[in-house]
Structure 1
Amino acid sequence: MDRDTILRLVSEVPDHDGFPLVDDLHARFDALAAAHPDQVTVTRIGTSRLGEPLHSYRIGSGSHAAVIVGGVHPNEPIGSWTALHLASTMLEDPVAAAALDVTWHIVPTIDPDGMRLNEAWFHDPHDRVFYSRHFYRPAPDSQVEWTFPNSYKSVYFDQVLPETLAFMRLIDDTEPDLLVSLHNGEMGGVYYYLSEDLPDVIDLLHAVPESLGLPLDTGEPESPFLRELAPAVFAMDGIETAYDYLEGLGVDPGEHIHGASSASWAMRHGALCMVAELPYWSHPDADDQTPTDESYADLLRRCADELGASGTELQEILDLASPMTTIETPFLEGSRAFVPMLLSGPETDRARADREPADRMATVAERFGCEDLVRCFRLRYGGMLLRALEAETTAGTASAPLRRLRDRLAERYALWQADAVTGAEPIPVGRLVGVQYGAILACAAHVADPTRASRPAMATTNLPGGS
């Protein structure tokens, strides 16, 4: 499949008003399987923690295997439409399917339990305040993407979730040439993670958002240790790189690193791994490289102080509320994990600020990225803690002091909502799906290229129990 064909297919992705609910998503995949019984094989790969069957839909009979998994973070549903559009196209466009020579193994959502806790905002993903108020993200040790086995230096992790185990089995059973876990971000532009430095793929990863009128995210990267392969394309170097970076800063890596990712597991089989990170909202500052009058080091310190102050406020409320809570909701579990991170995370930024040249000025994009991360975390995790306290007030189990804490947090949260960035524009969902879909096609075309060298043998990695 050539570049022009991929860009044409990307341009044909339809728009959507919101995101499908979990039951609707599963019903749509089941309808596809019923309509194409000779082309779709449905396999149960596991069971969620709340007892929901997890299924993989095998489509096609190509000589290259690709695993595509949605819902790895349940607050990231762009991949729901992407997975559905990919499945529909491969079933209904035999020319495109034949050009890729791929057998697809598609999981619509690997964490249906968590995704259901975000469904309140799926019908209106364009309002950031509404989105954040109904936001849910599992605690790190309850995230499917980050609970793969891991053993490196002082870190040892083997608390694999049932959903992660299903994901692991699917990877081991299919030994894929390509793994794509379907992620997305929130604000800014498009950026990617890629497990290999592939100029032909990177060229298409740049061309796809450009063809849809979407900017690349060239500001502050998601993590400071990331290795850039090209603008807005970062290497998937694994937790070893993160660990060594934090250790070099004098920060305890064990406080920040636990499980490994799905990519680390798939690369044992020689898979090419890719993640496309897409925003719900764009902002003109996200790719503005104009220097500001603030040094990068001062920017890091200022935002670290602001984030730490917000963390202190939330931690005080959480500490006061904890003895009075009676309902162990996922929101409370998440709050107990993320609120302390708002206090410990700034430690890393302050440490690296001390190593930045004092005369290196921050760009507009970097300033926007750092400042918006503070806004994002306040809205996300303040909203989750508020949902945890509201579970008690709604159930009628909240004492009078707990109700007063809920009111105090709601008042503070309203101020953070009012501080939501101006000038942000919602991006049509169809364009976001188009970027993710096009990135998958670009990687699939690469692995199916008959002139490509054969993939490497299974590599050894630092995993509990060996590989």
Structure 2
Amino acid sequence: MTHDPLLSLAQRLPAIQGFPTVDELRADLLSLQKAHPDRIAHAVLGRSRLDEPIDHFTIGDGPLQVVIAGGVHPNEPIGFRTVQQLVRLLLEAPELADLAATWHIVPCADPDGARLNESWFASADRAAYFEGFYRPAPGEQVEWSFPFEYKEAWFDHPIPETRALMALFDRVRPDVFVGLHNAEFGGVYFYLNQDDATLARELRDLPAAFGLPLDVGEPEMDGLVRLDDAVFRAPLARERYDHREARGLPPETRSGGAGTADYLERYGTTTMIAELPYWTHPDAADTTPTDRLYRDVVAEKADSLDELHVLLQRILDAARPSLTIDSPFRRASEAFVPGMGQAATAERARLGDPALNRPATVAEVFGNREVARTFRLRFGGILRRALAAEVDAGVARGPVRAASAEIDAAFWAWLAAEGDTELVPAPVEALVGVQLAAVLATVRRRRG
């Protein structure tokens, strides 16, 4: 394999433990800016709904405009470490000057949401992760609250954090944008908004250089366009709408807006997303056929999601008349609990596709099973936090206490079943290395 100096930079990262809190991340980058005021500019791009600063650091003065945003989903902090390492490389590695870029770095786009996840940032323990997990309702996510108007769908109330990014995008008209995302389990996969076979191939090969598996099992969305193994074209919101319509499904008209790729389409921006797992499993990369029909595997997932929806909806409905706190957890539950039923319906809409009448691969069996297991802990955990907030505040009436006890018992039973997952925590430096290498490869490719 030809020596790649940019890949070598990403492979030389020190061992990294856990993820920084919002305050730790900000303090670290501000200290670097104060130590290098001639190299790093700092501004406050905007403020969050709870009046937290949204920082913007600028490095370099090249013609290529690159925007990097961390924490666009607040339960995805791998990007916090990637930002820390990227800033240091931009200061220390002369090779990066050849990219001729101006780097606009937004370390944490949603500080309010990130703070609600900080309890698990220092640990790779899955129990701690799901106990402290929070993901906003779609309309409150930075990634999915850009304006959107298409057919019967309409969304035009982006949150302040999203408006801050929109203002930056409009000002610099990025050549490259990378939102620093991550997944949870299995292997690595990527999204690109352009059909670039050369870059797709380069991204595909990166995880192996860091000892991480590709995820070649079930994509997280049906109908994705595959550019290479574990590399997909980033779907636009209108394309997702049309795909659901073609499946005979109702449009998702109340689940949020468009994404960053949609908004940046007007500027011809190259958008790349590297999805990294906290926990890996070799099955994620195993394309060996099994003795199970793919159709049956998908049907089983649909049944699991339906079962989860029925349970969570019953608990939420029983508690709702007595709920008094409009917490982020409650708003997320009001979106994600019915969303489980909608997800089950969407999976069932696939079952008539003749392409599913084939043996499922090991990776597909693994991915479908783990999605169902993960969703019950994710969204059951958020509902648990919503009800616990009422109990802990001393305002819970009897129905809320009963609902809280029921979801608590279910949550711990689900966690007890986690012992047979055989998922292994991935080294943080490897995850950061892949994300960093993917960023550099994308910028280099756009530079030409």
Same fold at TM > 0.5: yes
* CA distance in 1 between partners of 2:337 and 2:159 (Å): 22
Give the letter aligned to residue 61 of structure 2: S
Q: CA deviation at 1:358?
A: 6.3
Alignment of 1:144-163 (within 5 A): 144-163=142-161
Question: Could you report, residue by residue, the CA deviation over 1:111-169 in whole angstroms, capped at 9, with x for unpaired residues?
Answer: 00000000000010x22222011100000000010011111111111111111010001
* CA distance in 2 between partners of 1:85 and 1:442 (Å): 16
Range 286-295 or range 27-36, more displaced: 286-295
Which residue does 1:21 correspond to in 2? Answer: 21
Identical-residue share of aligned pairs (%): 46
TM-score, length of structure 1 as denominator length = 0.93
Aligned pair in 2 of structure 1 residues 358, 441: CA closer, same or farther (>3 Å)? closer
Which residue does 1:251 correspond to in 2? Answer: 249
Range 79-88 or range 400-409, more displaced: 400-409
Which residue does 1:69 correspond to in 2? Answer: 69
- Decide which of 269, 284, 298 is 2:296's aligned counterpart: 298
Q: CA deviation at 1:287?
A: 1.3
Q: CA deviation at 1:47?
A: 1.0
Question: Could you report, residue by residue, the CA deviation over 1:325-377 in whole angstroms, capped at 9, with x for unpaired residues?
Answer: 11111111101110011111110111111223564111111111111110111
Task: Let me know the Cα RMSD of the aligned residues.
Answer: 1.4
Which residue does 1:436 correspond to in 2? Answer: 435
CA contact (8 A) 1:154 1:254 kept: no
The unaligned stretches of length 5 or more in structure 1 are 450-467
* CA distance in 1 between partners of 2:354 and 2:29 (Å): 50
Give the letter aligned to residue 202 of structure 1: A
Q: CA deviation at 1:101?
A: 0.9
- Decide which of 342, 362, 365 is 2:363's aligned counterpart: 365
Question: Could you report, residue by residue, the CA deviation over 1:411-442 in whole angstroms, capped at 9, with x for unpaired residues?
Answer: 11111112224211110111000000000000
Q: CA deviation at 1:256?
A: 6.9
Which residue does 1:132 correspond to in 2? Answer: 130
Count of equivalent residues = 446
CA contact (8 A) 2:138 2:255 kept: no
Which residue does 1:401 correspond to in 2? Answer: 399
CA contact (8 A) 1:180 1:274 kept: yes
* CA distance in 2 between partners of 1:257 and 1:406 (Å): 26
Aligned pair in 2 of structure 1 residues 228, 357: CA closer, same or farther (>3 Å)? closer
Q: CA deviation at 1:197?
A: 2.1
Give the letter aligned to residue 35 of structure 1: A
CA contact (8 A) 1:64 1:102 kept: yes
CA contact (8 A) 1:219 1:365 kept: yes
Question: Could you report, residue by residue, the CA deviation over 1:149-195 in whole angstroms, capped at 9, with x for unpaired residues?
Answer: 11111111111111101000111111111000000000011100011
Which residue does 1:12 correspond to in 2? Answer: 12
Q: CA deviation at 1:299?
A: 1.3
Aligned pair in 2 of structure 1 residues 358, 177: CA closer, same or farther (>3 Å)? closer
Range 354-363 or range 268-277, more displaced: 354-363
Which residue does 2:423 correspond to in 1? Answer: 424
Alignment of 1:327-338 (within 5 A): 327-338=325-336
* CA distance in 2 between partners of 1:356 and 1:323 (Å): 45
Which residue does 1:324 correspond to in 2? Answer: 322
* CA distance in 1 between partners of 2:268 and 2:338 (Å): 37
Which residue does 1:460 correspond to in 2? Answer: none
The unaligned stretches of length 5 or more in structure 2 are none
- Match status 1:196 vs 2:190: no
Q: CA deviation at 1:400?
A: 3.1
TM-score, length of structure 2 as denominator length = 0.97
- Match status 1:117 vs 2:116: yes
* CA distance in 1 between partners of 2:132 and 2:354 (Å): 37
CA contact (8 A) 1:91 1:97 kept: no
Which residue does 2:87 correspond to in 1? Answer: 87
Q: Classify the secondary structure of the residue corresponding to 1:353.
A: coil
CA contact (8 A) 1:239 1:257 kept: no
* CA distance in 1 between partners of 2:237 and 2:147 (Å): 11
* CA distance in 2 between partners of 1:343 and 1:306 (Å): 10
Q: CA deviation at 1:248?
A: 0.8
CA contact (8 A) 1:225 1:241 kept: no
